[in-house]
Structure 1
Amino acid sequence: MSIKIFLPTNYFYVKRSCNLYGQLHISDDNVVVYYVVDVDDNKDDTKTTTDSRECNHMRLLGAIRDSYADSKQCSAHDMMLCFTYNNESPNVSLMFTGITPENLKQIKLILYDKQIVRSLIIKGYNTLNHWTAHETRHMNDECDFYMLARLVQPEPGANRNKSEGLWFYGSQSLCLLANLPMQLFKYIVGNAFVNSIITHTVIFKHYQEWQTIYAAGSRLTNIMIDRALGILLMLMLFTLASHPGDFLIQISHIIISQLYSLLKVLEGSPIGLKLNIHLNNFFLDCFKYHIELWSTFLDLIEPIVRQVFLAIGAFGCLGFTYQIALLADLISIVGLHAHCFYVYTKVLNNVGVKGLTVLWQVVRGNRYNILRSKSTLKDYRVAINIYFVADRIEAHNYMNRQLYLATIFFSAILFLFPTTLVYYVVFATLKALTFATLAILEFCRRKILNFPIEMFLKCVKKGFNEI
């Protein structure tokens, strides 16, 4: 049997008589652990003190006495631990234990700091889990520290003095003032008409995620930092930028001019590719017409876009992540024409691939028989003298006019396919870049809310090696 005694560092240098309170735990491997959490200087009124400590789930473990105390006196008062002090030694000494081990080497006195141990648990999260997952030999020590961290957590219903009460009511007022923009936004989103419009937007999805995190109360530090960054960016936009709405308009026109430049590059023979002239001109005319329509549409909604950019700054009252979500929605709107081009070229590319696949079987004298199953093919593969290319592809005798038409269409699609493929690759790349930008914004937005900032700061500031 071995004994572990966890004693706060400041109590190790106490030079007065006091009672020790905490908890006792006996582990499965026959280790007795004493968790000393608090002291009480009122040693005479033992009954009253014990009753008050029992309300706080603490029990009387022992006491710190002067050097004249002996083991008989400790046993008479049902003490489990007894420390003594004198004027010569700077610290207390262990004089008595209720359970006597075989030798003194089996007694371990572990000093700890309350503030550091409290940081091991953040909102009910055990920060020692990453040790227990990799090193099983520290399991007992980690369980001891985890239980100790739970014991030294402050009581939720602890009495506050007058100054703390004033701070509490002041924080309530500040909390109501800080939540006023969120309550207003919640009221707007709750409207049925507005809800039907923004249901599939990033800002609405982020609002739902934010409400879930805020209701859980596990990332309040992240929310505070989020709002601070949002307000800071809002002040920068409104003070440093004279016309912040012009910025988005300029970006839209730059994107349009770059698309015109891209179409000009595709005209002719880009990077030496021999594209079909007629199909290439048709694509260029079609896409230029769509760009002109989009440019006209942006000119019409230019006043609204200017105000929307101001809304990005105003969303700083809700948080920096709300600004990121609204920016993602604006990027999706500005890149709508590029998305349309991607859809057009994707459909044409799929038609070309499907046409070549089907006509390739025709020019080879095969056809796809949908009525045949795999079991039927296995049963009649030997009986019927037919050459099977695949499970449901069989040979077929086409008429000459069928082969003639199939050859013409196959040749036409084959020679037009490189042009379609080039446009598909170009606009698929633009779509991928837009998607990557939105993915980066989503990653940043979620990391700001879900990253354990409080635990990270405490680990960086103190670390576990100081325990």
Structure 2
Amino acid sequence: MLDRRSLSARVYTNSSRNGFFCCTCILFDPNDLQKSYFIQENITAHKNVSEYCQSDAIPSAVVKIVQDVCQNAEDIAHLEENHRMTSYFHKSPCLKSSCLDIILTLFISPIKFISSLFVFKTANKYIDKVLFTSAFARVMKMKHSQIELQTKKDAKSPLKKLCYLDLGYRQIMDSLLGILCLFLLSWLTSPQDIASLILYWTKTTVISLSSILQWLMGSPAGLKLNAQLNGFLGSFFKYNIYVWTTYLTVILEPILATFLQCSLFSGIFGFSLQLSLLQDIVSLMALHIYCFYVFASRFYYFQVYTLSSLWRLFCGKKWNVLRHRLDTASNDIDHLFVGTLFFTVLLFLLPTTVVYYSLFTLLHLVILLFHTCITSITEWVINVPIYSMMQWLIRAKSVAGHVIFRVHSWEKAPGSTLILAMQVSQFTFSQVFTILNEKQRTMNNVHSVWSKIIKKIIKGHFV
């Protein structure tokens, strides 16, 4: 309902087709338009606000909605020049500073300083790739880009002010979740106990993997594998498991408890940092599984690629690298004989390779699924608009984006007055989230490795 104490009206007049004069009166509350960040953004986004308000953009939009409400609203299709809505669009109060801005700045400034330490580049692009494979470094870079975007000293806008409030509230929520996790884990257990539990799970995985390899070196599920290749691959991976055990005992075990303690205390700066450090710990513990997967994947890819090339040889085709197409090729009998020999050998060795490739691909996918889940949670914590969500839940007019017209009174008579009540209406939460995400440009579109995963696994490409 409209508040009568702050009620305003705007009247549009026009000559009807029958020669009579009709008028349309729109009742609205100017405060509703002033409070909404989204409505004010549509006005202040233009370079010259006064010219925008004096143009026919606003009245024409009103006329269009009125025509949809009432069939006979064509009588007001042309507006008189002296009837505008300019006096009701003053400078938005959304841009005013307050004590809340100072409090939010106190929360944001430490994160801005720490995250700036992770924004650097070396002369070698490969070193950059190694340094920023860390989930912690990626999260810090994302936080830095968010803060830089919202604290940039350029033209202010109501929607940018809303994004800044979201950034501050989001950091407060992130820090509160991190501190809660810190106290909860400190009360329930200790970093030393967590480190011992992680090492126990890892060593159990090592023992289980050794048992599986020993089983594969025999006749797994009755399969007749190539004895020589099977023995070579089994011995190779078992030796690397021994290296992995040494790596866990000598390098990780002494520093794991300290690393976990630092990870817990990083919760002061955000729960998202704790999650990213958890990802890094899992990556360090499962480093050799990734190495096993890379070796098995490359070996499998080499065999599949060679078999496909030899198959084209038999079909009288060859791959044109320059034109990226298949061309006809003529081959003599010697080429076909050597090709048949290699094709037969590789084809009979392929099942042995597939067994080991399937094992380590499955282990890699389990770890990848864990990383995907943690990354999704981290992305949500970093990008969720907390302030806007709270305003949306309490149905505040600050996140209103639509305007609704309701017919207040109207008589079908010449010269009658059509009275409309205009009220603001909220966006859906998905619309609010989409608009703010486009404004902030911080939601990283994580390349989904799951969309074409079957095709990549069959071809032996990295997942």
TM-score of the aligned structures, taking structure 1 as reference length: 0.59
| Matched residue type, 2:24 | Q
Secondary structure at the aligned position of 2:183 is classed as helix
Counterpart among 368, 373, 397 of residue 333 in structure 2: 397
In 1, the alpha carbon distance for the partners of 2:26 and 2:320 equals 80
Counterpart among 253, 262, 287 of residue 302 in structure 1: 253
1:248–1:305 Cα contact (<8 Å) kept:
no
Question: Closer, same or farther in 2 for the Cα pair 1:178/1:258, shift >3 Å?
Answer: farther
In 2, the alpha carbon distance for the partners of 1:8 and 1:279 equals 84
For the pair 1:345 / 2:293, whether they are aligned, the reply is no
- Structure 1 or 2, whichever has the larger Rg, is 1
Question: Closer, same or farther in 2 for the Cα pair 1:178/1:208, shift >3 Å?
Answer: closer
For the pair 1:462 / 2:395, whether they are aligned, the reply is yes
1:181–1:317 Cα contact (<8 Å) kept:
no
Identity of aligned residues (%): 22
In 2, the alpha carbon distance for the partners of 1:371 and 1:216 equals 44
For the pair 1:280 / 2:265, whether they are aligned, the reply is no
In 1, the alpha carbon distance for the partners of 2:382 and 2:324 equals 53
> How many pairs were matched up?
339
Question: Closer, same or farther in 2 for the Cα pair 1:273/1:117, shift >3 Å?
Answer: farther
Task: Give RMSD over aligned pairs.
Answer: 4.5
Give the C-alpha shift of residue 188 in structure 1: 8.3
1:334-362 deviation digits (Å, cap 9, x = unpaired): 22111111111112212222332344456
| Matched residue type, 2:361 | A
Give the C-alpha shift of residue 427 in structure 1: 1.6
Counterpart among 136, 140, 157 of residue 203 in structure 1: 136
Give the C-alpha shift of residue 178 in structure 1: 7.5
In 1, the alpha carbon distance for the partners of 2:311 and 2:230 equals 25
In the other structure, the counterpart of 2:352 is 419
Secondary structure at the aligned position of 1:225 is classed as helix
Matches within 5 A, 1:38-437: 102=21, 106-111=24-29, 114=31, 120-121=36-37, 153=93, 156=96, 176=106, 179-180=109-110, 183=113, 186=116, 198-217=131-150, 218=163, 219-242=167-190, 243-300=193-250, 301-360=252-311, 364=314, 366=316, 368=318, 391-398=327-334, 403=337, 405-437=338-370
Give the C-alpha shift of residue 10 in structure 1: 4.5
In 2, the alpha carbon distance for the partners of 1:140 and 1:123 equals 16
In 1, the alpha carbon distance for the partners of 2:268 and 2:368 equals 27
TM-score of the aligned structures, taking structure 2 as reference length: 0.60
2:225–2:352 Cα contact (<8 Å) kept:
yes
1:180-199 deviation digits (Å, cap 9, x = unpaired): 57646755887999x97844
In 2, the alpha carbon distance for the partners of 1:123 and 1:317 equals 36
Question: Closer, same or farther in 2 for the Cα pair 1:124/1:449, shift >3 Å?
Answer: farther
In 2, the alpha carbon distance for the partners of 1:148 and 1:456 equals 28
Question: Closer, same or farther in 2 for the Cα pair 1:368/1:234, shift >3 Å?
Answer: same
| Matched residue type, 2:374 | L
Question: Closer, same or farther in 2 for the Cα pair 1:426/1:348, shift >3 Å?
Answer: same
Which of the pair has the greater relative contact order for Cα pairs under 8 Å at 6+ separation? Answer: 2
2:170–2:382 Cα contact (<8 Å) kept:
yes
Secondary structure at the aligned position of 2:225 is classed as coil
Secondary structure at the aligned position of 1:322 is classed as helix
| Matched residue type, 1:268 | G
**Please, which runs of 5 or more residues in structure 1 have no aligned partner?**
1-5, 13-19, 33-100, 127-135, 159-166, 376-389
| Matched residue type, 2:236 | C
In 1, the alpha carbon distance for the partners of 2:36 and 2:288 equals 52
In 2, the alpha carbon distance for the partners of 1:311 and 1:153 equals 43
| Matched residue type, 1:284 | G
Give the C-alpha shift of residue 206 in structure 1: 1.5
**Please, which runs of 5 or more residues in structure 2 have no aligned partner?**
15-19, 43-60, 67-83, 151-162, 405-422, 425-463
Secondary structure at the aligned position of 1:108 is classed as strand
